[in-house]
Each structure stands twice: as C-alpha cells, then as structure tokens.
Structure 1
Amino acid sequence: MSRDWLSDDRADLAAERILDAAAALFAEQGVTSVGMADIAKAAGCSRATLYRYFENRQAVRLAFVHRETRRIAARVVHEVRGIEDPSQRIVAAMLGAVHAVRAEPLLIAWFRPGESGAAGRISQDSDVIESIAAGLFTPTGLTGPERSRLARWLTRIIVSLLSAPGRDDDDERAMLAEFVVPIISRAFA
C-alpha cells in the first residue's frame, strides 16, 4: 500500500525538516538575515514547496519558536513539579527556561545583539506562548485578563534575562526572588 505524499505524517515530517533547516540558518547567520530562499535551499526543497507549508518568513519563525517553546515547557514542567512553594516553583521554572535556551545554540541565537527584537515580538504577540506561560508561571486560581497580563509580563522578564543577562546565576535568582516573588505571592494571596 503506497502512502499519499501529502499524508499528515509526511507533511509533519516535511515541516519539521524545514524548521530544522531554518534553525541551523538562524544560529549560523542570525534570525533577521535568513530569507525564504535560504531556508528552501537548506531544507533541500523548492520555494514553492516551502510556501506550501509556511506562508512567509514570519510563519517559519513563529512555528519554530512555538515548537521549541513547547519542548522547553515540557522539560521545565518535569524539572519543577516537586517544588511545593508556588513562588519558588515559578522562579525555578523561569530560570529553567532561561538555562534551557542558553544551553541550545539554535535558540540562544535569537537573543544575540540585534536579534532579540524578533524573539521579543513573537513572545508578546503569540497566543501559544502566552498560554504556555500562563500554565507554567501563573496561579491556577488567577483567571481572565490578570492571568494573561501576568503570563506576558513573566515571559517578558525571561526574554529580558536572555537579551541582557544578569551578572551570573545567583544574580538572576536574586533579582527574581526580590522583584518577581513579591508580585507572584500577591497573586496567590
């Protein structure tokens, strides 16, 4: 039995291959300088094929960021699930996300000087990232616009730490403990 070339599995694999090729280019050349022709060539497909999967360069960026955000979130959830104190769990989750991005050359490339604007815009405009952040970082009892704003604010802090790191891990942890924990504690009250 032959498989249809456009079957879901095959389409998913093609999209993943394109995103993997784009990721390598982002790390090598910088996020803002990579165009659709570059991505098609690196993925080994025609531009027409690339456009069948992704409408434009921003769609490729967004799909890549969403894929990696889901991957990091799953890892962070696993790492912090045993932390009972909600404020400490949020700080650990935020630092876990920062460390995961820094450890991955394909991701930290988004936060080099001149590149962080694209990541910042995506992180604040994406409903997917907001939803993941709300699940990771906000109290379950908090709902509606307040939860949404808190999730976007905490995401903004993570982007800030990636774009302009603290002096070291202890400095970043201290900043989060001193400035973020009091706000989070109020949200849990």
Structure 2
Amino acid sequence: MSNDWLGEGRALAAAEKILDSAAQLFVEKGVNAVGMAEIASAAGCSRATLYRYFENRQALHIAFVHREARRLGTAIAESVATIDDPSERLETAMLTAVSAVRSTPTLAAWFTPGDASLAGELANSSDVINGLGVAMLGEIGAGTASRARWIVRVILSLLMVPGADENDERTLVREFVAALLNAGRTT
C-alpha cells in the first residue's frame, strides 16, 4: 500500500481536478466571469485548498493555458510529423492550431468577445505558448524566437478575427506567413 496521500501524485491529481472544474466553468460562463469561489465549489474543495494550489486567479489561468498549450503542441506535432517541407509544415501546424482551438470548447471559451484580450495577454507573456511557435518553425536559424512570437500573434489574430472561411485562412497563412518564412531564409 502506498503512503502517498499527501505526496506529489496526489497534489498533481488535485491540481488537475481543479483545472478540469475551471475548464467546465469557463465553457459555461466565460473565462472572465468565473471566480475562485465558483471554481473551488465546482472542484469540491475549499477556497483555502484552491489557493494552496493556485495563489490567485491569474496563476490558475496561467496553469490552465500552459496545460492546454502542451496538449495542443502534442496534437500539432502529430499532425506535421510526416511533412518535410518547412513552409507546408508551418502552414499545416498553424491551421491545425486554429482548428483545434475552435473545435475544443474549453479552448474556444478563451476567444469569445469578452475573453479574447485575456487570451492574447497570456499568450504574449508565455514561454510555453511561444515554445509552440518555435516548435512550428523548427530550427531555422537566427531569429527563431522572434518569428515564433510573431506566429503566435498570427494564430491569435485568426482566432480573434477569423477569415471568411478555411480556404481564406489557408490562403492568408500560405501567402503571408509561409512565404515570409522562405524569404527570411535567404537573408
């Protein structure tokens, strides 16, 4: 029998349960409308317990976004694993990210009119999310980090201000992102 009831495994499970409860509330009410007391109640814990895991609402938001960004990164990596052409890989990765966010209610909740600015703020300050951009670019030399931040901004833009349809967005990414990637390689 394991004596891990206060151990790291239990703490991780508790934090995951809290984040899962928050996710459901984000979908139902919107990210900005959900308070810590509601999350604690939904998770079946006290506010003191919630604050033991997440010192404030911003910390909970960051933990949630980072968890989902890692999951999204895995899905993106799988979608481009067999694509060798860097431009095609980037195009597919970006459009996969946009599609995955839109089709996942817990992610789409962050891009409703009242909550999109919070998503943009977190994305611009997150090493984890910017890491997704680097993963999409691969190793292309100098300037990868700044290009990765730009790619994240383009993805956020497509999520906040969608194109006319999927074909329109694919054209935008192909002509204005993938083309610039190729141009940047020759300089």
How far did residue 5 of structure 1 move?
Answer: 2.5
SS in 2 for 1:31: coil
Number of aligned pairs? Answer: 186
Q: Distance in 2 between the 1:33 and 1:126 partners?
A: 22
1:170 aligns with 2:167: yes
The aligned residue for residue 187 of structure 1 is 184
What do the CA deviations read for 1:61-91 (whole angstroms, capped 9, x no partner)? 1111111111111111111111121011001
Aligned counterpart in structure 2 of residue 147 of structure 1, from 130, 139, 144? 144
Q: Any residues of structure 2 matched to 1:6-155 within 5 Å, and which?
A: 6-136=6-136, 138-143=137-142, 146-155=143-152
| Contiguous gaps of at least 5 residues in structure 2 | none
Counterpart of 1:183, as a letter, is: L
Q: Distance in 1 between the 2:171 and 2:62 partners?
A: 32
Counterpart of 1:106, as a letter, is: T
User: What TM-score does the superposition give when structure 1 sets the normalisation length?
Assistant: 0.94
Counterpart of 1:115, as a letter, is: D
Higher mean displacement: 90-99 or 123-132: 123-132
Q: Distance in 2 between the 1:100 and 1:64 partners?
A: 16
**1:139–1:188 contact (8 Å) kept in structure 2:** no
Q: Distance in 2 between the 1:2 and 1:72 partners?
A: 33
Counterpart of 1:90, as a letter, is: L
Q: Distance in 2 between the 1:52 and 1:159 partners?
A: 31
CA-based RMSD:
1.2
SS in 1 for 2:16: helix
Q: Distance in 2 between the 1:155 and 1:94 partners?
A: 9
**1:116–1:163 contact (8 Å) kept in structure 2:** yes
**1:142–1:187 contact (8 Å) kept in structure 2:** no
Sequence identity (%):
52
| Contiguous gaps of at least 5 residues in structure 1 | none
Q: Distance in 1 between the 2:151 and 2:80 partners?
A: 16
Q: Distance in 2 between the 1:6 and 1:129 partners?
A: 31
* Residues 40 and 139 (structure 1), Cα distance of their counterparts in 2 relative to 1, 3 Å cut: same
Deviation >4 Å, runs of 4+: none
**1:40–1:50 contact (8 Å) kept in structure 2:** yes
Higher mean displacement: 57-66 or 125-134: 125-134
How far did residue 135 of structure 1 move?
Answer: 1.8
What do the CA deviations read for 1:83-131 (whole angstroms, capped 9, x no partner)? 1210110010000011111111111011011210011011110111112
